[in-house]
A = this chain, B = another copy of it.
Amino acid sequence: MEGVDHLAHERQKALFDVDEMKVVWAGSRHALEVSDRMSRLVASDPAFRKDNRTMLSRKELFKNTLRKTAHAWKRIIELHLTEEEASKLRSFVDEPAFTDLHWGMFVPAIKGQGTDEQQQKWLPLAYKMQIIGCYAQTELGHGSNVQGLETTATFDPKTDEFIVDSPTLTSSKWWPGGLGKVSTHAVVYARLITDGQDHGVHGFIVQLRSMDDHMPLPGITVGDIGMKFGNGAYNTMDNGVLRFDRVRIPRDQMLMRVSEVTREGKYVMSNVPRQLVYGTMVYVRQTIVSDASCALSRAVTIAMRYSAVRRQFGSQNGSPETQVIDYKTQQSRLFPLLASAYAFRFVGEWLKWLYTDVNQRLQASDFSTLPEVHACTAGLKSLTTSVTADAIEECRKLCGGHGYLCSSGLPELFAVYVPACTYEGDNVVLLLQVARYLMKTVSQLPSGKKPVGTTSYMGRVEHLMRCTSNVQRAEDWLKPNVVLQAFEARAARMSVACAEKLSEFANPEEGFAELSPNLVEASAAHCQLIVVSKFIEKLQQDIPGKGVKGQLEILCSVYALHLLHKHQGDFLSTGSITPKQASLANDQLLSLYAKVRPNAIALVDAFNYTDHYLGSVLGRYDGNVYPNLYEEAWKDPLNDSVVPDGYHEYIRPMIKQQLRNARL
């Protein structure tokens, strides 16, 4: 059956141009071409195979990743790949590795916080990987609260050095990726102390290991923090622990772009505005949102294809059973996730624009949009990663029992993805930050201050507090303006309700703490509105290709209406819509699924993932699932012998009733 496409009949049903949809998903023809070329390069290179990953022991797994990382770097050099190509190649290798932190955190930290001289000294070394760096911020006792870090860097004017120290157990650096076994250097965050004065947390470049033999330098204790969730997943990464016993570094290894310590030990702020760090923050969060759409679309691809292959129940007179994708319960769980993948893709694209915009403003010393940008990116990071983590697990369940096998690819995808809910800001903490901004925005409305960017709808708060939805038939819910008004009314009313409750407290901080569960819900409503509105904005653009825009319009409606149904409590309790209108929205949603159905397989084909990247027997492009599941099983090490290791010691004595005398 090699070469047969078991899903061909599904692909023929599609009512739109899949190749044009690929361009839309990738962002541009150029991006599609690069992605396509890099993913094939990785998929066709046996050095990058990953199907055995879940069977390796920790040590084998880690060594194997070192090998792949070196091979990838070698190919990058040999093929003279551009930065864009190299980054794509690394992402298609699809294994967390120390290089993620070297390129994603160490290099940007030096670029963002280092002086020109520091950049000239360190960046060329990092670019050639003559040094390997990581980002040592979080500590055993300190994560979200960066200002609570305990590591100290005390200036010693006698020697012109900083003394980096871990004064307590809880001050041990804990979690930094690449730290445990590989990195030669780290950007270490520590409390700067000069002349007994604590200036708060600053970054320092610290060499950790000898460049000769890789041994930790004197005063440095470093190691791996142990096994993490999943079989492969992040266990390919050496997340590390690090303790300093009065380690001395030269003064010029403090990152001094924003503030510096002089030879005399004076702490001086430079004229570079602190707000510059926000550029990096927007960039990182944009990457996370884009990663979310990636992980979500992978999971959806696997579940969608397998749902078209899997048949269960419904056989009549010997006909084949029903494809599970034809069950409305399957559709009502899976199609909204497909729509969410597209929604997150487009909001991620918009964040790329936002990053450019913020950078231009920063260059011009315009910091006016920063608070709104901070709130909006925090909220979108939280929303997209939470939804994606849950959605991967939902896709796994949608594959029934077989989704529990590692060969489905979904357990690993889940385990490798979920930390995104915690790193770069815990998702609930981030929603509380959004809430603070929303409460501030509401409180300033009476003074006439115009809300900007994603909160500009708040400028119409009076209208939104009293408007009613004019939906009368299910089809009315297909109108973007109708949807948008309902989401705006809900979000505005939830924020205003929180603000009113807050004003009853004498102590606003106490009120904020007491009401925080409500505030989190108001933030979520605001963030959902952003994603819906950016999807709608996307559809106002010109989108070429037969049927492409039409499909996206359907998905946009599915996305918005499934949210409306899921959170109808919000919409109804705020009176933004009536129970009858909520019911019509749900009717419309169910009937949209019938429109998605014929296009479902083509809509996941448009993500253009190779079988290598998907890493899933259930999600194979050709749908030839069962023979391959069967073959995959025999590769397990337990099948190396017919009679298992341990039979003679443990099973036979049991059966033969000789256990009493056995040594176990």
Contacts and interface: CB of A to CB of B under 8 A. Distances in A.
Interface residues of A, number: 142
Please give the count of copies of this chain that the complex contains: 2
A569 interface: yes
Contacts of A520: 329
A37 interface: no
Given A214-B647, A518-B586, A655 B70 contact: no
A129 B181 CA distance: 47
A401 B138 contact: yes
A63 to B, nearest CB: 4
Secondary structure at chain A's binding surface: helix, strand, loop or mixed?
helix
Contact of A404 (B138, B144, B418, B517): B418
Interface stretch (A15-23, A72-80, A246-254, A347-355): A72-80
A558 to B, nearest CB: 13
A223 to B, nearest CB: 5
Given A405-B226, A643-B215, A128 B315 contact: no
B422 A642 contact: no
Nearest to A144: B312
A123 to B, nearest CB: 16
A142 B649 CA distance: 36
Contacts of A396: 229, 418
A632 B223 CA distance: 12
Given A73-B659, A128-B657, A400-B426, A633 B516 contact: no
Pick from A315, A328, A583 the residue with the most CB of B within 10 Å.
A328
B227 A55 contact: yes
Interface in A202-261: 211, 213-216, 223-231, 234, 238, 241
A461 to B, nearest CB: 19
A143 to B, nearest CB: 5
A272 interface: no
B132 A406 contact: no
A388 to B, nearest CB: 13
Contacts of A312: 142-145, 148
Interface stretch (A278-286, A363-371, A622-630): A622-630
A120 interface: no
Contacts of A532: none
Contact of A626 (B170, B227, B229, B646): B170
A223 B639 contact: yes
A486 to B, nearest CB: 14
A654 B68 CA distance: 12
A228 B411 contact: yes
A59 interface: yes
A495 interface: no
A30 interface: no
B432 A329 contact: yes
Interface stretch (A151-159, A463-471, A571-579): A571-579
A180 to B, nearest CB: 7
Interface string A304-347: 00000001110100000100000111001100000000000000
A47 B639 CA distance: 26
A590 B228 contact: no
Interface string A566-605: 1111111111000100110010001000000000000000
A479 interface: no
B404 A228 contact: yes
B67 A649 contact: yes
Contacts of A54: 227
Contact of A224 (B215, B630, B638): B638
Contacts of A131: 655
Given A70-B659, A514-B590, A645-B59, A652 B405 contact: no
Contacts of A572: 568-569, 572-573, 579
B650 A67 contact: yes
A650 B66 contact: yes
A78 B659 CA distance: 10
Interface in A159-192: 169-170, 172, 175, 180-182, 184
B74 A406 contact: no
Contacts of A423: 401
Nearest to A312: B145
Contacts of A414: 229
Interface in A387-409: 393, 396-397, 400-401, 403-407
Given A140-B629, A223-B634, A518-B586, 4 more contacts: A55-B57, A66-B650, A144-B313, A328-B516
8 contacts: A58-B636, A71-B664, A74-B662, A131-B655, A227-B407, A229-B406, A332-B516, A401-B423
